[in-house]
């Protein structure tokens, strides 16, 4: 156990987050997503939903400030204007941690599966709500006091 680190962040997950570099992408997915078929390392969080996982991850993981949309979500029913309650909640969590205004990159479902094969790793939750799948692009970790 570590002070100041969410206990949801296991040593394996912290190592992956730490090993990732600027621009690398992390998947955060629901229980329906075929995580193992991506061929990427999979960290299974167990009985946790995507919102709780996003809270823990984004507490230590900066989103990229050099791209317009460092947070992607899977498109719902082929309609980019539709979001789920969980998607809205993940966006709210990300906005609390990001220094600038933040909006979605909407990724069509089949494109999301293709892109998943190029990500650094997959964080798999047991989120029950379909379309609980996200892409987080890692940002730069700036030195303390350089804000």
The segments of the chain whose pLDDT lies below 50 read: none
Catalytic member of 22, 97, 98, 124 = 22
Tell me which DSSP letter residue 79 carries: B
Q: Is 124 a catalytic residue?
A: no
d(CA 76, CA 107): 9
- pLDDT given at position 114: 97
Residue 97 belongs to domain spanning: 25-137
Q: Identify whether 106 is part of a domain.
A: yes
Q: Identify whether 88 is part of a domain.
A: yes
Q: Identify whether 20 is part of a domain.
A: no
Q: Token pair of 2, please?
A: 């570590």
Query: Could you tell me which residues come within 8 angstroms of residue 119 by beta carbon, excluding any fewer than 6 positions away?
Result: 24, 25, 26, 27, 38, 40, 135
Q: In the chain, how many domains are there?
A: 1
- pLDDT given at position 144: 79
pTM for this prediction: 0.95
């Amino acid at each position: 156990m570590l002070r100041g680190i969410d206990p949801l962040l296991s040593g394996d997950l912290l190592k992956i987050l730490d090993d990732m570099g600027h621009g690398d992408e992390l998947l955060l997915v629901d229980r329906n997503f075929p995580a193992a078929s991506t061929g990427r390392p999979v960290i299974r969080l167990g009985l946790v939903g995507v919102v709780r996982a996003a809270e823990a991850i984004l507490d230590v993981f900066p989103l990229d400030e050099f791209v317009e949309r460092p947070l992607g979500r899977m498109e719902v029913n082929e309609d980019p204007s539709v979001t789920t309650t969980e998607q809205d909640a993940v966006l709210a969590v990300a906005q609390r941690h990001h220094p600038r205004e933040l909006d979605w990159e909407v990724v069509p479902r089949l494109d999301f599966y293709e892109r998943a094969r190029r990500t650094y790793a997959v964080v798999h939750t047991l989120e029950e709500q379909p379309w609980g799948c996200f892409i987080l692009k890692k940002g730069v970790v700036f030195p303390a006091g350089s804000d």
